[in-house]
Amino acid sequence: MNDNKIPYKIYLSEDEIPKQWYNVRADMKNKPAPLLNPATLKPMTAEELGAVFCDELIKQELDDNTKWIDIPDDILSFYKMYRPSPLVRAYCLEEKLKTPAKIYYKFEGNNTSGSHKLNSAIAQAYYAKKQGLKGVTTETGAGQWGTALSMACAYLGLDCLVYMVKVSYEQKPFRREVMRTYGATVTPSPSDTTEVGRKILAEFPGTTGSLGCAISEAVEAEATREGYKYVLGSVLNQVLLHQTIIGLETHTALKKYDIKPDIIIGCAGGGSNLGGLISPFMGEKLRGEADYRIIAVEPASCPSFTRGKFAYDFCDTGKICPLAKMYTLGSQFIPSPNHAGGLRFHGMSPILSQLYHDGLMEAVAVEQTSVFEAATTFARVEGILPAPESSHAIRVAIDEALKCKETGEEKTIVFGLTGTGYFDMVAYQKYNDGAMSDYIPTDAEIEKGFAGLPAQP
Amino acid sequence: MNDNKIPYKIYLSEDEIPKQWYNVRADMKNKPAPLLNPATLKPMTAEELGAVFCDELIKQELDDNTKWIDIPDDILSFYKMYRPSPLVRAYCLEEKLKTPAKIYYKFEGNNTSGSHKLNSAIAQAYYAKKQGLKGVTTETGAGQWGTALSMACAYLGLDCLVYMVKVSYEQKPFRREVMRTYGATVTPSPSDTTEVGRKILAEFPGTTGSLGCAISEAVEAEATREGYKYVLGSVLNQVLLHQTIIGLETHTALKKYDIKPDIIIGCAGGGSNLGGLISPFMGEKLRGEADYRIIAVEPASCPSFTRGKFAYDFCDTGKICPLAKMYTLGSQFIPSPNHAGGLRFHGMSPILSQLYHDGLMEAVAVEQTSVFEAATTFARVEGILPAPESSHAIRVAIDEALKCKETGEEKTIVFGLTGTGYFDMVAYQKYNDGAMSDYIPTDAEIEKGFAGLPAQP
């Protein structure tokens, strides 16, 4: 193996780290729909958003036209602590699969947060600090975003309040300790520390929580505290913007070795990793400069793209956030508690939703036992224990590589390996013990989710 | 910061990965004492060692003279999956400490085993496979070695039986699952699956186990199975040899930027990381080409160097292994169960023991609360959650940097950051909760350990 001079890991130099984020909206003919004020059904103004978000981030959120946005030097310095991340040629996986396909993955797990989330966490914390805030509030599902934000806040000396989806809080006690080690306060959600949490607990006693519900609590916690703003780890345009560092590095690394991908694959929960990875490639596609198959992979138990509706919906269960137009299962949809693999958000990034709606990308839903099977195969040959979330992309990358084996095509497949699974061993244990099951929501359950959609403008 | 053109992370290219291991014994005037047969007190022959170890590894174990030993291509290929590891300039830590010292660390934690142990695991598994074996047996303390060996065995298709020190097995259930995910069988030690385990359980009911005890069980498991050999993650000459990849990469990276270290620091349990890191520098020192302060850091609760005897002793509690001449607390010494930081082996690498005895390196013992304090400081500014073991080196690197602050000296400090602490969150939680205590063995306890030493030849 490794006979064609492409190294196992393509590392850019620190000088090659992009100095600007790329705003794919500037190249989109059909812009993502604006966030709406749920009371007036009018687009949210910067002023209205200012009640919740930092000023500079609102500018980024609302800017559909500036193509390149400078990365501040302090953020670049932080990036240099763990970036550039390697683009890895999966020689061992190719050999295991005996596929003619060439497989690459952009590995974002080599930092303590264990995922790509740090790319946006440091940006958001930086702008909060710059605005003179005391701290930030947020929610976390699998815990990667919360850990990333805790790290960024520790670095900048900001207070950090994290509402963690209860099922993850219980399955991942050590995640909580990592966040505490970085100085964060972590509360399982729903909790009785907020009004919305108490309301949800009363309505759904015994609920294992959801991201949508944790968002509601974190927003309330921000609103009731002086000097705090709310930050979000996915879905929003600003987050996808920060995450383009992934795709830009990937693009540069591929170019350096004259590699042209045929298929680009990423897992999709709220869309931050996928959006970040594909943006520069999507830009080429939008400008007619190149063509790629782009595939979003989501869990069959939370299938926003493949079974959701493209509609205005709340981002949170408590219905206190603005409305976003996106593929959604309804803000009241909560995935089955047997679902272990993350990516449990009911909606999807408005940018990606628009691109998907316009036929510029595909989506597939996969079941979790097949995801863990792919994860285990990958771990044993590539030596990296992947996060369950990331393993959704591995599953489809393997499937596509196996199709190449059948057809004999030497396609080049690039996928995003967003993170590591060190804190997901309860789920791995379930799989190792043969005790993992799959769950696909019934049509009735999906319809029930849709019933909770707000009146469309 | 970063004003002097030295990047945050110095990465070598894959071509710069050393193609040979460096055998420091070749440059030692006083060779490490040979292993002795405990029955005859005569040096172990290759044939005698063959009952336990693989042939090629025995050759490496006994070879005091060949200075450079080729790394087989298959091992180099595996190394390329996770190496070269970065040499990181700790700009943020320097700034936090406001020290004129320049601090670098060689970070070995960016692989799923979470530590440097993989460097020797793949080598040992490779030679076992080459010899046509079915599998290997081993012990693991904190779990890093067991995980590393599981990964190497999964990659090569070898069976892997791991005896895990009971206190770690209980504190780190997820470590077990990682090993299982890589296909290993993990047994808490002492167990009733071996004769020696049953004997130890009878003599010390309620014991939390020790590395020495787990070694005895793993050796017995090897002896009673066809097609298996025993492998060890530290202490042995062969292990230090494989780990020189750390020091050689560090040496090359420093040279590339014309950096001359003044102080080199590593944590020391059995000595594999320290030995690997310092070997090329020690070689220069032995040959009179350069001088460095070299500091071994050990836990005050298991102080082999600083309070041990330089004597022949068993490597295992069950007294079935050969005798090694080393700094030892006695094979019956078991650190206090309140000790959370790894590095709990009663003895020390014979190579390092000889070098220490000859005054070529220093040693200090540090208490665990101060170690976790250093770990937390480091995590918050450098963004890496360090393993407790590695944090011993961080403690002393910080102490030396603070001395520079007092004296104004711009010393260059290099330390080994052996791994990450993702599976050590029980210990971190204890520290976060303020519930961690220190324990220094009394003189009487140390003397009691010495009482168990065998008659000296």
Angle between helices B368-382 and B425-432 (to 10 degrees): 100
**DSSP H or E stretch at residue A91:** helix A91-97
Report the C-alpha gap between B147 and B150 in whole angstroms: 5
Sign, CA torsion A355/A357/A360/A366: positive
| B178 in A contact zone (CB under 8 Å) | yes
Q: How many CB atoms lie within 10 A of CB A407?
A: 10
Candidates B14, B112, B381; nearest CB to A8: B14
Per-10-residue mean pLDDT for chain A, 457 residues long?
74 95 98 95 96 95 98 96 96 97 97 94 98 97 93 97 92 90 96 95 90 91 96 96 98 97 97 98 98 97 97 90 96 83 90 98 97 97 95 98 98 97 92 94 96 93
User: Using an 8 Å Cβ cutoff, are B67 and B27 in contact?
Assistant: yes
Q: Name the 3-class secondary structure at A336.
A: coil
The parts of chain B modelled with pLDDT lower than 70 are 1-4
Residues 97-136 of A with CB under 8 A from B: 110-112, 114, 118
User: What pLDDT is stored for residue A372 in this prediction?
Assistant: 97
Indicate yes or no: CB of A155 within 8 angstroms of CB of B428: no
Report the C-alpha gap between B266 and B272 in whole angstroms: 10
Distance from CA of A136 to the nearest CA of B (A): 17
Report which DSSP code applies to A33: P
| A11 in B contact zone (CB under 8 Å) | yes
Distance from CA of A315 to the nearest CA of B (A): 30
Report the C-alpha gap between B48 and B324 in whole angstroms: 15
Instruction: Pick the closest to residue B381 from A116, A156, A17 (CA basis).
Output: A156
B81 contacts on A by Cβ (under 8 Å): 8, 92, 382-383
| A181 in B contact zone (CB under 8 Å) | yes
Residue A86: is the preceding peptide bond cis (ω within 30°)?
A: no
Encode burial over A101-131: b for 16+ CB neighbours within 10 A, e otherwise. bbbbbbbbbbbbbbbbbbbbbbbbbbbbbee
Candidates A155, A181, A420; nearest CB to B428: A181
Encode burial over B301-328: b for 16+ CB neighbours within 10 A, e otherwise. bbbbbebbbbbbbbbbbbbbbbbbbbbb
User: What pLDDT is stored for residue A4 in this prediction?
Assistant: 59
Which pair of tokens denotes residue B412?
């260059």
Distance from CA of A343 to the nearest CA of B (A): 22
Report the C-alpha gap between A62 and A64 in whole angstroms: 6
User: Using an 8 Å Cβ cutoff, are A46 and A59 in contact?
Assistant: yes
Reported as a single tens digit per residue, the pLDDT across B353-383 is 999 999 999 999 999 999 999 999 999 999 9
User: What pLDDT is stored for residue A338 in this prediction?
Assistant: 80
Which pair of tokens denotes residue B60?
């490496």
Candidates B111, B154, B376; nearest CB to A181: B376
Which pair of tokens denotes residue A324?
């976003």
Distances (CA, A) of B456 to B145, B334, B444: 31, 22, 21
User: What pLDDT is stored for residue B220 in this prediction?
Assistant: 95
Which pair of tokens denotes residue B277?
């890191």
| B420 in A contact zone (CB under 8 Å) | yes
Report the C-alpha gap between B329 and B346 in whole angstroms: 5
Q: Name the 3-class secondary structure at A288.
A: coil
Select from A89, A92, A110, A159 the residue whose CB has the most chain B CBs within 10 Å, as the one to mutate to test that interface: A110
Q: What's the pTM?
A: 0.94
Reported as a single tens digit per residue, the pLDDT across B248-285 is 999 999 999 999 999 999 999 999 999 999 999 999 99
Q: Name the 3-class secondary structure at A352.
A: helix
**DSSP H or E stretch at residue A281:** helix A272-286
A104 contacts on B by Cβ (under 8 Å): none
Indicate yes or no: CB of A2 within 8 angstroms of CB of B111: no
Distance from CA of B25 to the nearest CA of A (A): 32
Distances (CA, A) of B133 to A310, A370, A443, B120, B275: 58, 32, 54, 17, 28
Instruction: Kindly provide the residue ranges of all beta strands, DSSP E only, lying in A41-195, ordered along the sequence.
Output: 68-70, 87-89, 102-107, 135-140, 159-165, 185-189
Q: Which residues contact A224 (CB under 8 A, 6 or more apart)?
A: none
Report the C-alpha gap between B243 and B309 in whole angstroms: 25
Could you give the maximum distance between any two Cα atoms of chain B, in Å?
Answer: 62
A82 contacts on B by Cβ (under 8 Å): 383
User: What pLDDT is stored for residue B4 in this prediction?
Assistant: 59
**ipTM of the prediction:** 0.91
A13 contacts on B by Cβ (under 8 Å): 7
Candidates A173, A178, A432; nearest CB to B385: A178
Which pair of tokens denotes residue A418?
């967003």
Candidates B92, B173, B423; nearest CB to A422: B423
